[in-house]
Amino acid sequence: MSGMTTRPDRGGEQPPRPPAVQASVPPDPDQAGVETSVPPIPAQAGAERTPDQPEVARPATADVPPTVADAAGAEDGPAPKPDRAQYGVCAFLALVGALVIADATRIGHAVNTADPIGPKPVPILLGVLLLIVAAIYAVDVARGGAGEPEAGEDVDLTTPIDWRTVLLLIGAFLVNAVLIDRLGWVISGTLLFWGSAYALGNRHYIRNLLIAVALSLITFYTFAIGLGVNLPAGVLQGIL
How far apart CA 191 and CA 178 sit, in angstroms, is 12
- What's the whole-number mean pLDDT along residues 228-233? 88
Domain count, the chain: 2
User: In this structure, are 136 and 175 located in the same domain?
Assistant: no
Residue-level pLDDT at 41: 57
Which domain does 219 fall in, by range?
A: 163-236
User: In this structure, are 218 and 183 located in the same domain?
Assistant: yes
| Residue 149 predicted with pLDDT over 90 | no
User: In this structure, are 130 and 171 located in the same domain?
Assistant: no
Residue-level pLDDT at 1: 47
| Residue 116 predicted with pLDDT over 80 | no
User: In this structure, are 126 and 187 located in the same domain?
Assistant: no
User: In this structure, are 188 and 221 located in the same domain?
Assistant: yes
Residue 171 lies in a domain: yes
- What's the whole-number average pLDDT of the chain? 75
The better pLDDT of the pair 164, 38 is held by 164
DSSP string, the chain: -TT----GGGTT-PPPPPHHHHHHS---GGGTT-----PPPPPPTTSPPPTTSPPPPPPGGGGS-HHHHHHHHHHHSPPPPP-TTHHHHHHHHHHHHHHHHHHHTTS-----TT-SS-SSHHHHHHHHHHHHHHHHHHHHHHTT--PPPP--TT--TTSPP-HHHHHHHHHHHHHHHHHHHHH-HHHHHHHHHHHHHHHTT---HHHHHHHHHHHHHHHHHIIIIIS------GGGTTT-
User: In this structure, are 180 and 224 located in the same domain?
Assistant: yes
Q: What percent of the chain has pLDDT over 90?
A: 37
- What's the whole-number mean pLDDT along residues 84-112? 85
User: In this structure, are 224 and 182 located in the same domain?
Assistant: yes
Residue pair 94/133 in contact by the 8 Å Cβ criterion:
no
Is the model's pTM score more than 0.85?
no
Residue 45 lies in a domain: no
User: In this structure, are 217 and 167 located in the same domain?
Assistant: yes
Residue 79 lies in a domain: no
Amino acid at the residue 71: A
Residue pair 192/215 in contact by the 8 Å Cβ criterion:
no
- What's the whole-number mean pLDDT along residues 71-99? 75
Residue-level pLDDT at 21: 47
User: In this structure, are 222 and 182 located in the same domain?
Assistant: yes
User: In this structure, are 169 and 133 located in the same domain?
Assistant: no
Residue 28 lies in a domain: no
